[in-house]
Amino acid sequence: MVRPYELILKKRTGHELTTDEIEQWIQGVTDGSFTDAQSAALLMAILFRGMSDRETAALTLAMARSGRQVDLSSLPGIKVDKHSSGGVGDKTTLVVAPLVAAAGAPVAKLSGRALGHTGGTLDKLESIPGLRVELSLSEFLDVVREVGVAVASAGVDLAPADKKLYALRDATATVDSVPLIAASIMSKKLAGGADAFVLDVKVGEGAFLTREEDALALARTCVAVAHEAGRQAVAYLTSMDQPLGVAVGNALEVREAIETLQGGGPADLRELVLVLGAEMVRLAGVEADEGKARSLLERLLDSGEAAARFQRMIAAQGGDPEVVENPDLLPRAEVRLPVEAPRAGYVQAIATRELGLASMALGAGRDRPGAPIDLAVGLEVVRKVGERVEAGEPLAWIHARSEAQAEGIRARVAAAFRLGEAPVEPPPLIRQRVASGT
């Protein structure tokens, strides 16, 4: 049995831990034989000394095995999962999951909830009347078998060691370590049981990681860990220098996802869906040629087949499928108030995190796990970076419960837009693709 003291000292002095040592640590985290103080010291040593890909993979696998591991082998085909590191207005999963299923690749997607300035897929889905995201494993698998796609709660027992370590990291300023973030994300992904992963690593002002080199390091590490675990993964670095699409807030985002599934929707959302979806379709072995995969997905969006698949998923999860034809069935806030441009100009930049926080302040997000959420409220960001606006035209719309609530947030939303005389190029949406060996 390894002594915690020796392990901490070994990492503190810059040595690599063996796979066995890492497994014993995670076992100790799970059974309590490693104290919180010892784990916190080891986390700090890892933050300063780093981890090799082999160590990170060993940590990821040990955490993935610390709880339930979902077995998707009863589902046909190669199962591909998609993960986003979290953003503002990121409703991609709501579109890409039914779309990829309509293309013939099964999607068994376990998702999370909103926290801080970023939204969560489960909360968004819950704005559909009746829809249940808390499915048992057998219900979840039945929906995937029947419809080709289900999106449900990851439950409490996936990678419980990660849950414990995350709480310690949060309390000891050791969250922002690339190997620790990669192990945290990928342990839950591996426990979710998919064969391959498409990772959307957000980068920019509204993302969890603001610097491109950090996001790239995270993408590379996640891809390497998946490879070490015998699974395939491709990561994309995508822009969070402005919200994705127009809608920010739960029911508003579902409405926009439906428009996109019906062949409309904002151009940036459609583009991201096509890029990530084509990669999923390729990894699932449905269509190897990227151009053909993209054309297939475009056809499924424009023909309404993707929207019909979403409708079937909603019905199978107990929701009202009518929302796809009639989005007015979604919750709506009583007040819609414009945020007007104080002068004419081009939008130079958008403080994206600030808009996420403003939406959270309206009630669309939560600052602690389990806090209640208002599904109807949020923002529409109708002017994006590079667009021209005349004085008095709306930059955004606030959806709120009362005039007072909307007025209370108006100056904050206005201040998130920087206007200037000079035309500017919008930031590129897709920054880089990272695959094994790149």
Q: Which residues are catalytic?
A: 83, 162, 169, 184, 188
Q: Quote the least distance from Cβ 186 to ligand URA, whole Å.
A: 9
Given the rule CB under 6 A, which of 40-48, 180-188, 329-337, 405-413 is the region that contacts ligand URA? 180-188
Which residue's C-beta sits nearest to ligand URA? 184
Asked if 184 touches ligand URA (CB under 6 A), the answer is yes
Tokens of 418: 């920087």
Asked if 225 touches ligand URA (CB under 6 A), the answer is no
Collapsing DSSP to helix, strand or coil, 318 comes out as coil
Residues between 142 and 171 that touch ligand URA (CB under 6 A): 166
Tell me whether residue 168 or residue 175 sits nearer to ligand URA (CB atom).
Answer: 175
- Give me the phi and psi of 46, to 5 degrees please: -65, -40
Q: Quote the least distance from Cβ 175 to ligand URA, whole Å.
A: 6
Q: Quote the least distance from Cβ 115 to ligand URA, whole Å.
A: 9
Select from 116, 111, 158 the least CA-distant residue to 131.
Answer: 111
Q: Quote the least distance from Cβ 69 to ligand URA, whole Å.
A: 17
Tell me whether residue 36 or residue 142 sits nearer to ligand URA (CB atom).
Answer: 36
Residue whose token pair is 């309590």: 32
Number of residues forming the site for ligand URA (CB under 6 A) = 5
* Strand (E) or helix (H) holding 108: strand 107-111
Out of 181, 215, 237, 398, point to the residue binding ligand URA (CB under 6 A). Answer: 181
The full DSSP string for 403-417 is HHHHHHHHHHHHHTE
Given the rule CB under 6 A, which of 70-78, 178-186, 236-244, 377-385 is the region that contacts ligand URA? 178-186
Q: Quote the least distance from Cβ 85 to ligand URA, whole Å.
A: 6
Tell me whether residue 208 or residue 417 sits nearer to ligand URA (CB atom).
Answer: 208
Q: What contacts 132, CB < 8 A, 6 or more positions away?
A: 317, 318, 319
Tell me whether residue 166 or residue 346 sits nearer to ligand URA (CB atom).
Answer: 166
Tell me whether residue 6 or residue 170 sits nearer to ligand URA (CB atom).
Answer: 170
Distance CA 357, CA 241 (A): 15
Residue whose token pair is 């600052």: 367
Out of 22, 29, 185, 360, point to the residue binding ligand URA (CB under 6 A). Answer: 185
Distance CA 421, CA 386 (A): 11
Distance CA 127, CA 375 (A): 6
Distance CA 256, CA 269 (A): 9
Given the rule CB under 6 A, which of 179-187, 236-244, 274-282, 430-438 is the region that contacts ligand URA? 179-187
Select from 369, 376, 372, 308 the least CA-distant residue to 154.
Answer: 369
Q: What contacts 254, CB < 8 A, 6 or more positions away?
A: 91, 94, 124, 125, 127, 128, 323, 327, 330
Beta bridge partners of 81: 197
Q: Quote the least distance from Cβ 78 to ligand URA, whole Å.
A: 24
Site string for ligand URA, 61-100 (x = CB under 6 A): ----------------------------------------
Select from 91, 98, 83 the least CA-distant residue to 148.
Answer: 98
Interface with ligand URA by CB under 6 A: which residues?
Answer: 166, 175, 181, 184-185
